[in-house]
Amino acid sequence: MLSKTDNERLTQVSAGTPMGDLLRQYWLPMLLSEELPERDGPPLRVKMLGENLITFRDTSGKVGLIANNCPHRGASLFFGRNEEDGLRCVYHGWKFDTSGACVDMPNEPAESNFKAKVHLTAYQCRERNGVVWAYMGPEENPPELPALEWNMVPQDQVYITKRLGQCNWVQSLEGGIDTSHSGFLHRPLAKAGMDSSLSVVQRDRAPRFEVMETDYGVLVGARRSYDETRYSWGISQFLMPFYSMIPGGLVWSPAIGGHAWVPMDDETTMTWTVSWHPDRPFTEEEYQRMHVWPNYDIHVGRVGGFLPATSEAGGAWKTVLNKQNDYMIDYDLQRDYRFLGVPNIGLQDQCVQESMGPIYDRTKEHLGSADSAIIRVRHLWLRAAQALREQGLAPVGSQSPESYRVRSSGILQEKDSKESWIEVSKDLRAAKAR
């Protein structure tokens, strides 16, 4: 369990809080490029780390991320005119470029230099392979974007969806690095027509965990008995500050899957879900399986899985099955076909994570050996936040984008082998440099 103080340190993300300041040391995935398709197109509302922001693509194609309120009289720039490389407030015509500089102040006399004294809060943005990233930290020249393989491969080798979560980012992420739940929460029952005995995750639901800190986060090995002579190791990754990679290769599908849990505020999270093939494009069959709804996949299908988009922050990513309608749980499905009667793996996760409440009181929990990865990640977060605050030390991975060139994996190993699973899987866990 955590103390009340440490629970607050982990879950609060506004500027000035320990974790809020820590998260601002990293580049954060903000949008899919397709969400801002047009130059001089409509602005979008964004909320990240407790801040209400506006993003837009200017005439030159550059993405800006600026404060919601015009610094003149506070009108929202969501209603602004996106024109001639800037966003113009419709109230009095003040115009701001992507750096936050006021470049026009037409209601002031021509001889006035007042516009040179006004600057709007603005954050740096970079775009790569269909993702727009934001840096909300203090460095004028931040490091390169993290070399996550899913943001480096050709776009026909990656599939990304998002979904809006109604709980704190920590409890969402902790569900993602807790692989022991897969033998229960996502379990098919006999009438589903799936032979669960073929899955090592279902045959051995009490894995033994080994956890090691790395220069990017935490490496997690989950050992299960595969047969009389061999162990299966499901190898997952946690990458600072909020990325995970699901065990791949042997245990799961040939594609690699992962998530990013980006805090919008203390009680709302934008969950990014990513699947990628390191070496080949997705087939049309693979793509369609992820794209349609319903599906038993980590993705919520884009067709039919989301409510009609609204203009509020994250309003395009609200799922049809959600907390307000109890995820339309089907108890007939739960009795005969699935351990939980919610027809999507990603929403099964979201269901239990949100059921804990907006921010779970971790002073009440009881952690066991299966929670060793969660315990280690919490310690890493708290140590990094303290070192940043007290010594100004950059947190793990924030200054070394190349350290993110890793994959999750899965291996079989003889039970009498003396070799470490860490060494055996070393080459499989290395992503190619691109």
Q: Assign 3-class secondary structure to 106-128.
A: CCCCCCCCHHHHCECCEEEEEEE
Question: According to CATH, what is the number of the domain 149-424?
Answer: 3.90.380.10
Greater model confidence, 433 or 72:
72
By the 8 A CB rule, do 352 and 217 touch? no
Q: What is the mean pLDDT of residues 366-387?
A: 96
User: What residue spans of 127-270 are helical by DSSP H?
Assistant: 169-177, 200-203
Q: Residue 199 pLDDT more than 80? A: no
Q: Is the pLDDT of residue 383 over 70?
A: yes
CB 188 within 8 A of CB 287: no
So what's the architecture of 27-135 in CATH?
3-layer Sandwich (2.102)
**Structure token digits, residue 301:** 């299908």
Element (H, E) at 387: helix 372-391
The residue count for the chain: 434
Pick 270 or 250 by higher pLDDT. 270
- Strands (DSSP E) along 115-229, which ranges? 122-128, 131-135, 158-165, 208-213, 217-225
Is residue 394 over pLDDT 90?
yes
Mean pLDDT of 98-117: 95
**First-to-final CA distance of the chain:** 41
Does the structure show a pLDDT above 60 at 196? Answer: no
How distant is the alpha carbon of residue 218 from its chain centre? 16
Of the listed ranges 157-171, 239-253, 269-283, 380-394, the least confidently predicted one is: 239-253
What is the reported pLDDT for 251? 40
Q: What 3 state SS string does 78-100 have?
A: HHCEECCCCEECCCCCCEECCCC
> Where are the domain boundaries for CATH 3.90.380.10 in the chain?
149-424
Q: pLDDT at position 198, please?
A: 54
- Above 80 in pLDDT, residue 190? no
Q: pLDDT digit string (tens) for 400-413?
A: 999 999 999 999 99
Average pLDDT, rounded, for the chain: 94
Is the predicted pLDDT of residue 166 greater than 90, yes or no? yes
pLDDT at res. 289: 85
Amino acid letter, 229: T
Which residue reads 């320990």 in tokens?
A: 18
Residue 35: the pLDDT is 98
Determine the Cα–Cα distance for residues 258 and 172; give it in Å rounded to an integer.
13
Task: Look up residue 174 and give its two tokens.
Answer: 């902790």
pLDDT of residue 250 exceeding 50: no
Task: Give the per-residue pLDDT at 252.
Answer: 43
| Ranges of CATH 2.102.10.10 domains, the chain | 27-135
Its pTM stands at 0.95
**pLDDT tens-place string over residues 29-75:** 999 999 999 999 999 999 999 999 999 999 999 999 999 999 999 99
Phi-psi region of 154 (alpha: psi -120 to 50; beta: other; left: phi over 0): beta
Write out pLDDT tens, residues 316-373: 999 999 999 999 999 999 999 899 999 999 999 999 999 999 999 999 999 999 999 9
Above 90 in pLDDT, residue 204? no
Integer CA distances (angstroms), 170 to 49, 255, 365, in order? 13, 26, 14
Mean pLDDT of 237-242: 98
Residue 203 confidence (pLDDT): 83
Q: Which amino acid is at 264?
A: M
Contact 352, 175 (CB under 8 A): yes
Measured in whole angstroms, how far is the alpha carbon of residue 138 from the centre of its chain?
22
